[in-house]
Amino acid sequence: MTQPRTAPELSSVAREVEEFVASGGWDQGPQLFALVPTDHLLREQPDLADRLDPASALTPVAQDALEGDLADALAGIMWPEVVVGCALAQEIVMLPPEAEAELPDGDSDALGRVAAGHPEAREARLVAAVSRDGAMACVLRLRTTGEGELDQVVEHPGLARNLTAALLDTLRA
* In contact, 155 and 26? CB cutoff 8 Å: no
Tell me, what amino acid is at 61? V
Predicted pLDDT of residue 28: 94
DSSP 8-state code for residue 18? H
Predicted pLDDT of residue 122: 83
Can you give the residue ranges of every domain in the chain? Answer: 8-171
Q: Which residues contact 164 (CB under 8 A, 6 or more apart)?
A: 4, 128, 130, 136, 138, 157
Backbone angles phi, psi at 169, to 5 degrees: -60, -30
Predicted pLDDT of residue 55: 84
CA 18 to the chain's CA centroid:
8
Per-residue pLDDT of the chain (173 residues; tens, 9 = 90+): 556 666 889 999 999 999 999 999 999 999 999 999 999 999 999 998 899 887 889 999 999 989 889 999 999 999 999 999 999 999 998 877 766 666 666 655 655 565 566 667 788 999 999 999 999 999 999 988 777 777 789 999 999 999 999 999 999 85
DSSP collapsed to 3 states, 30-61: CEEEEEEEHHHHHHHCHHHCCCCCCCCCEEEE
